[in-house]
A and B are shown apart, each in its own frame.
Chain A
Amino acid sequence: MLTSLFIYLLAVALAPLFSAVITKTKAFLVGKQGPPLLINYYTLAKLLKKGSVYSESTTFVFQTMPVISLAVSVIAILFLPIARMPALLSFSGDVILVLYLFGIARFFLIIAALDTASPFEGMGAAREAYFSFLCEATLFTVLMLFYKLNGTLSLNDYFTGPNAISIWRPEGAILLLIAIALFVVLLAENSRVPVDDPATHLELTMIHEVMILDHSGPDLAFIEMSAWLKLLFYATLIADLLLPELSTITAIPAFFAVITAIYLTIGIIESITARFRMRLVPKFILTSFALAFFAVILVLEM
């Protein structure tokens, strides 16, 4: 349990660093030096020192969103076995809770965006609602598959214990499809290229960034932190799937190595691809659903 707590705190503390890995990779690949690896901590420190500005047209909804968003991310990771260590919290059916925790965060993100009455934020909210709804299809299909393989409804049981799911088991080949599907969901849910461009400043094309345009100071710090944790959540899910059975001593460095590899992959993808046209994004996300669905069909035959 103590190890679990240790690795939980470590992972949460390192989430901003990992995100900086993406920035650094992108900078390196175009021949730039890029910002320092600790840039996100500096950003957090800077934002926390500032005050928040609220538009007169917004209500309490706008102000509660950052807190809820951060709380959800912090809680969701509690249920996740990091590096295949037992999760800090767990009960039967917690997967459903975790998925809908993110649903709550998204709900508040969307209504806070609508609360500003800005046409850009409204557009961003509409896109976010549409795309994440498509991601949910994939996630629940993955869940069906996990239930079929494992027989439980708990994240903890999926990745720990004798029945743990891993690509190193006989059905591993099928799980590779799931790893790819989850990676697509990761890109879509965390507004990465080719779905969204986190570096853009163009209010008409953004999805996630446009919804938080009006947030500032500590509020923005909370939102940023929550976004980094959410990215870490999805990366951890994929890493757990990819990790073999290891002892505690080797599992932790192996886990962080896999996480770094995932973030590097995101950085490389962002450097070599352009963004998709908005109307192609649903097709891209539904590809992940197709992969997951195919995996389910294959498992049904087993």
Chain B
Amino acid sequence: MADFLTIQNGRPFKRIQVPYLHFSEFRTNLLKLAFKGAEVVQFFAYQEDPSIKEVLMLGFNAPSRDFFSYEEEGTVQLMAVLRKDHQLFAVQTTAPETFDALSRQDMRFQLFEREIAEQFGLIPKDHPWLKPVRYHANCRGVKDVFGNDYTQDIPGNYPYFQVEGEEIHEVGVGPVHAGIIEPGHFRFQCIGERVLHLEIQLGYQHRGVEPLLTSVPFKRLPILIEGIAGDTAVGNALCFSQAMEALLNLTPDDGAKTLRTVALELERIANHVGDLGALSGDVAFNSSAAYFGRIRGEFLNLLLVMAGNRFGKNLVRPGGVTMGLIEDSRNLILSKIKELRPEIKEVGDLLFSAHTVQARFDGCGVVSREIPLVGVAGRASGIDYDVRQAFPTEKYSEIPACLHTRTHGGVFSRAMVRFEEILHSLDIIERLLQRPVTTQPVVWTGEVSLASSSCVTTLNEAWRGELSHCVLTDSRGGILRYKIKDPSFHNWTGLAMALRNEEISDFPLNNKSFNLSYCGFDL
């Protein structure tokens, strides 16, 4: 793999080490690697500050003359990180203003290319379905790829996909919904009760997180990071902290690693339990909806014990954690887990053994494993990928994998995977908290200078799945580009696919079984 730099999760590297290829070569190599089964972790554009660009060019070993003349055309760099067999590969290039879309050959790049087009105004030529991702103007101030006037409402001048025919009817739901959920627009093309196509339009919560992170003082970063998606506060804070630690050459102590792992697992349990309750509620199975709803609160309360708030904010910081765990709290968590485990098992048994529930869950919203999903939804489709096993950080290298018994890709599998993960996470926490935990609390003042001209990619298994942050620094140790990829970025497509040929009345159930993030996607 000389064409790629093999990188480690959470280990920094100088950007000059990353092979800098001519775009056509970059494209061919990526497609070749993807063809061999690699999945895209990060694929994004960034703008170099001019001083560094020169250094990069000189450092690169084989730039042809042709390369430099080509170079003058483009001012935007592309960076890609792919994963294959527990290895990460990085490569970069300079993108021409109009480039041949990779998604013509491989659909795994389609959303990433649309994002590049939207954020930087580059045109992926012959992209099969070039539509906005989040609906905002590009950061370079060049002509908009989609020809949108952003003073108008979403979706601008984008015509939604439409099926024509006498008996076809269209149902649009949202962005304002009947329940307390985030805004998103869902457009169904139906024949009778059957859904032919579901189009999902997001972007209503676009706040411009990525550019914001490069412009604020370092001190504010953790607060912003924890606000990316409120339900993944620990996950995002962990990705961020690991990235900062890499660039600052910090190593958290063993106790901090333990507490961070425990917090991430508590976040996972609380959300999974809540999801199982919501799934029960959707099929009008009241008993487990009520019990799981209560149990979710118990786990949020355990996060309160650890972090001082129920959503695990303000706990994980670069270098460690902000507060240790006193013996009383450790015993409280252990005794609560001992008390709740049989309850969870019992309620889960009630849910999964009720034949009316099985009739609703089983075979509903099946997604083929060919769709590149991550996390819970991916594992439910039989994709054996868990960041905790593939790229372990913190304490995960000591922890055995979670085994799943149902991987048919439907609602039942997604619910079962959640249930099994809850029990697995309970074991992890019990195991990690067996002995007293001591750690030196840290404070993030933000008065630091990051390793210059470097890059780090961090991956963690947040409760939805693979969450990844990628940080590029400039020559002065500031942040040049902060790229965030929520697991929902992959999985929204899965929801759209799950609905094909399903009944429209099963949409809420499928939606809950994925329970994807709107704000994590919209950034």
CB-CB nearest in chain A for B361? A274
Does the CB pair B173–A203 fall under 8 Å? Answer: yes
CB-CB nearest in chain B for A280? B359
> How distant is the Cα of A277 from the Cα of B282 in the complex, in angstroms?
11
CB-CB nearest in chain B for A122? B169
Known: A120-B171, A204-B504, A205-B505. A274 touches B284 (CB 8 A): yes
Does the CB pair A275–B284 fall under 8 Å? Answer: yes
- Contact partner of A26 (CB less than 8 A), chosen from B173, B286, B508, is B286
In the complex, how many angstroms separate the beta carbon of B193 from the nearest chain A beta carbon? 6
List residues of chain B with CB under 8 Å of any chain A CB. Answer: 169-173, 178-179, 193, 280, 282-287, 289-291, 354, 356-357, 359-360, 364, 503-508
- Contact partner of A30 (CB less than 8 A), chosen from B178, B283, B290, B508, is B290
Does the CB pair A119–B287 fall under 8 Å? Answer: no
Q: What are the residues of chain A within 8 A of B287 when measuring CB–CB?
A: 29-30, 271-272
> How distant is the Cα of A148 from the Cα of B431 in the complex, in angstroms?
72
Does the CB pair A275–B179 fall under 8 Å? Answer: no
Does the CB pair A273–B503 fall under 8 Å? Answer: no
Does the CB pair B290–A274 fall under 8 Å? Answer: no
A270 beta carbon closer than 8 Å to chain B: yes
Q: A30-B287, A202-B282 are in contact. List 18 more A-B contacts (CB 8 A).
A: A29-B287, A30-B289, A31-B291, A120-B171, A120-B173, A202-B508, A204-B505, A270-B284, A271-B286, A272-B287, A272-B354, A273-B285, A274-B283, A274-B354, A274-B359, A275-B356, A275-B360, A278-B505
In the complex, how many angstroms separate the beta carbon of A216 from the nearest chain B beta carbon? 15
A247 beta carbon closer than 8 Å to chain B: no
A276 beta carbon closer than 8 Å to chain B: yes
What 3 A-B pairs are tightest by C-beta distance, nearest first? A30-B290, A274-B283, A274-B356
Does the CB pair B356–A30 fall under 8 Å? Answer: no
- Contact partner of A276 (CB less than 8 A), chosen from B169, B179, B356, B507, is B356
In the complex, how many angstroms separate the beta carbon of A128 from the nearest chain B beta carbon? 13
**Which chain A residues in 20-39 approach chain B with CB under 8 Å?**
26, 29-32
Which of A108-116, A178-186, A193-201 touches B? Answer: A193-201
Chain A, interface size category, equals 20 to 34
Does the CB pair A274–B357 fall under 8 Å? Answer: yes
Does the CB pair B503–A279 fall under 8 Å? Answer: yes
Q: What are the residues of chain B within 8 A of A270 when measuring CB–CB?
A: 284, 286
A123 beta carbon closer than 8 Å to chain B: yes
**Which chain A residues in 119-137 approach chain B with CB under 8 Å?**
119-120, 122-123
- Contact partner of B503 (CB less than 8 A), chosen from A119, A122, A271, A277, is A277
In the complex, how many angstroms separate the beta carbon of B330 from the nearest chain A beta carbon? 30
Does the CB pair B290–A197 fall under 8 Å? Answer: no
CB-CB nearest in chain A for B360? A274
Q: What are the residues of chain B within 8 A of A30 when measuring CB–CB?
A: 286-287, 289-291
Does the CB pair A31–B508 fall under 8 Å? Answer: no
> How distant is the Cα of A199 from the Cα of B281 in the complex, in angstroms?
9
CB-CB nearest in chain B for A273? B356
> How distant is the Cα of A277 from the Cα of B508 in the complex, in angstroms?
12
> How distant is the Cα of A119 from the Cα of B193 in the complex, in angstroms?
12
Interface string of A253-281 (1 = CB under 8 A from B): 00000000000000000111111111110
Q: What are the residues of chain B within 8 A of A120 when measuring CB–CB?
A: 171, 173
> How distant is the Cα of A193 from the Cα of B169 in the complex, in angstroms?
27
- Contact partner of A193 (CB less than 8 A), chosen from B284, B354, B508, is B284
In the complex, how many angstroms separate the beta carbon of B415 from the nearest chain A beta carbon? 12
Q: What are the residues of chain B within 8 A of A272 when measuring CB–CB?
A: 287, 354
Q: What are the residues of chain B within 8 A of A278 when measuring CB–CB?
A: 193, 503, 505-506
Q: What are the residues of chain B within 8 A of A277 when measuring CB–CB?
A: 359-360, 364, 503, 505-506
> How distant is the Cα of A32 from the Cα of B170 in the complex, in angstroms?
40
Q: What are the residues of chain A within 8 A of B178 when measuring CB–CB?
A: 201-203
Q: What are the residues of chain A within 8 A of B179 when measuring CB–CB?
A: 201-202
- Contact partner of B359 (CB less than 8 A), chosen from A193, A197, A205, A276, is A276
Q: What are the residues of chain B within 8 A of A26 when measuring CB–CB?
A: 286
> How distant is the Cα of A194 from the Cα of B178 in the complex, in angstroms?
22
In the complex, how many angstroms separate the beta carbon of A270 from the nearest chain B beta carbon? 7
Q: What are the residues of chain B within 8 A of A276 when measuring CB–CB?
A: 356, 359-360
Q: What are the residues of chain A within 8 A of B193 when measuring CB–CB?
A: 123, 278-279
> How distant is the Cα of A274 from the Cα of B509 in the complex, in angstroms?
12
10 A-B pairs within 8 Å (CB atoms) are namely A122-B169, A123-B193, A204-B173, A271-B287, A273-B284, A273-B285, A274-B284, A274-B354, A275-B356, A279-B503
Does the CB pair A29–B503 fall under 8 Å? Answer: no
Known: A123-B171, A205-B505. A200 touches B284 (CB 8 A): yes
Known: A276-B359, A280-B359. A204 touches B286 (CB 8 A): no
Q: What are the residues of chain A within 8 A of B354 when measuring CB–CB?
A: 272-274
Q: What are the residues of chain A within 8 A of B284 when measuring CB–CB?
A: 193-194, 197, 199-200, 270, 273-275
Known: A203-B178, A274-B354. A31 touches B171 (CB 8 A): no
Q: Looking at B289, B364, B506, which has the most chain A CB atoms within 10 Å of its CB?
A: B506
In the complex, how many angstroms separate the beta carbon of B368 from the nearest chain A beta carbon? 21
> How distant is the Cα of A270 from the Cα of B287 in the complex, in angstroms?
10
